[in-house]
């Protein structure tokens, strides 16, 4: 048993929870589509064909075409790629920021009050509203969407990390390390940080889902990524204008979003049950915004 590589042990644990496995499969499928987008996309996502505008699904265009004759399948597949990049980058950004602020706040008492009041202030804005306001200043681009959504989720990660650090800093092993003369940064990095990661990792799957939804909503509203870039939200924004003539423009990207978010939610729920049994059934509201 102990000779098992970690990867296999994880897989076995996941297999015990069928639903979580289904979620993992959906997530992996999304990642595969994202990686293989240029191969399985079949058409250039930007290729115009005004002759074939608003065409229903056919063997040539599996998901039909949009108002300027671009292939919807190709745009949805490339949209998957964008969603995965945005989701991953937002998780990374919010982890880096949140872990730094959380460690500092939880470990250094004088800093704690100031840092946490600032985090509270940021959390007083509903996520999407703050993201919209930031996008207004930053301007539409993929990088700015990542920045805006990343800023939204930093305080949420920071709070979780801080909560764990407050408990861990009182443990005998931290005390022992300090007594042996280990410096603060080393204690934080080697002893505190690894022990507060599991709730953060669980939160990561929900932040990933929230970021994918957030990007779709921002782009749908016209304040996300620029309209020519294929994104699920952008395709649906065009679809809204042709809902009656061309419902496929709305329904296919909508189904893609649902499959992706459902997969992440199932996977996240399963992961939480594995890593953090106390939290069973409770789910951070952060992921919903």
Partner 1 sequence: MRTYLLRRVLAVIPVMLVVATVTFLLIHLAPGDPASVIAGPDATPGDVARLRHHLGLDESLPAQILRWYGRLLRGDLGDSIFLRRPVTEAIVERLEPTLLLTGWATLIAVLIGVPAGIVSARYHNSAVDQSFMGLALIGLSIPNFLLGLVMILVFGVWLRWLPVAGYVSLDVGLWPNVRSLLMPSVSLGLVQSALIARITRSSMLDVLREQYILAGRAKGLAERVVVYKHALKNAIIPILTVVGITFAILVGGAVVIETVFNIPGLGRLIISAVLRRDYPVIQGVVLVIAVTYTLINLAVDLVYLTVDPRIRYQ
Residue ranges in contact with partner 1 by CB under 8 A: 117-118, 120-122, 124-130, 132-139, 213, 216-217, 220-223, 236, 239-240, 243-244, 247, 250-251, 254, 257-258, 261-262, 265-266, 269, 280-283, 285, 288-289
Distance CA 252, CA 242 (A): 14
CB of 188 to partner 1, least distance (A): 26
- What are the backbone dihedrals phi and psi of residue 71, each rounded to the nearest 5 degrees, phi first? -75, 120
Residue closer to partner 1 (CB basis): 168 or 199: 199
223 HSE (CA, 13 A, CB side) = 17
CB of 284 to partner 1, least distance (A): 10
Residue closer to partner 1 (CB basis): 6 or 137: 137
Residue closer to partner 1 (CB basis): 86 or 187: 86
CB of 238 to partner 1, least distance (A): 12
Of 98, 115, 197, the closest CA to residue 149 belongs to 98
Report the alpha-carbon angle 268-169-203, nearest 5: 10
Instruction: Give the pair of three-digit tokens for residue 210.
Output: 């929230």
Distance CA 19, CA 269 (A): 9
Residue closer to partner 1 (CB basis): 46 or 122: 122
Distance CA 92, CA 87 (A): 9
Residue closer to partner 1 (CB basis): 97 or 182: 97
CB of 266 to partner 1, least distance (A): 7
CB of 229 to partner 1, least distance (A): 18
What dihedral angle (degrees, nearest 10) is formed by the CA atoms of 220, 132, 87, 251? -10
């Amino acid at each position: 048993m102990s000779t098992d590589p970690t990867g296999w042990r994880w897989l076995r644990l996941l297999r015990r929870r069928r639903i979580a496995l289904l979620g993992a499969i959906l997530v992996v499928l999304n990642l595969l589509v994202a990686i293989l987008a240029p191969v399985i996309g079949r058409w250039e996502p930007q290729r115009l064909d005004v002759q074939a505008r608003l065409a229903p699904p056919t063997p040539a265009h599996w998901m039909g075409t949009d108002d300027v004759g671009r292939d919807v399948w190709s745009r949805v597949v490339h949209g998957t790629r964008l969603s995965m990049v945005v989701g991953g980058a937002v998780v990374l950004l919010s982890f880096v920021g949140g872990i730094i602020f959380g460690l500092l706040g939880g470990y250094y008492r004088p800093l704690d009050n100031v840092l946490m009041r600032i985090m509270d202030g940021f959390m007083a804005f509903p996520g999407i509203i703050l993201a919209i306001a930031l996008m207004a200043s930053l301007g539409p681009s993929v990088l700015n969407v990542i920045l805006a959504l990343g800023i939204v989720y930093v305080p949420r990660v920071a709070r979780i990390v801080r909560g764990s650090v407050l408990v861990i800093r009182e443990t005998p092993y931290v005390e022992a390390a300090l007594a042996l003369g280990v410096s603060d940064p080393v204690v934080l990095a080697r002893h505190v940080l690894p022990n507060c990661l599991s709730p953060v990792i669980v939160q990561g799957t929900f932040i990933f889902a929230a970021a994918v939804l957030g990007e779709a909503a921002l782009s749908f509203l016209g304040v996300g990524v620029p309209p020519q870039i294929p994104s699920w939200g952008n395709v649906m924004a065009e679809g809204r204008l042709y809902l009656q003539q061309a419902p496929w423009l709305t329904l296919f990207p909508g189904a893609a979003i649902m499959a992706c978010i459902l997969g992440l939610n199932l996977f996240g729920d399963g992961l939480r049950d594995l890593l953090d049994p106390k939290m069973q059934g409770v789910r951070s509201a952060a992921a919903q915004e």
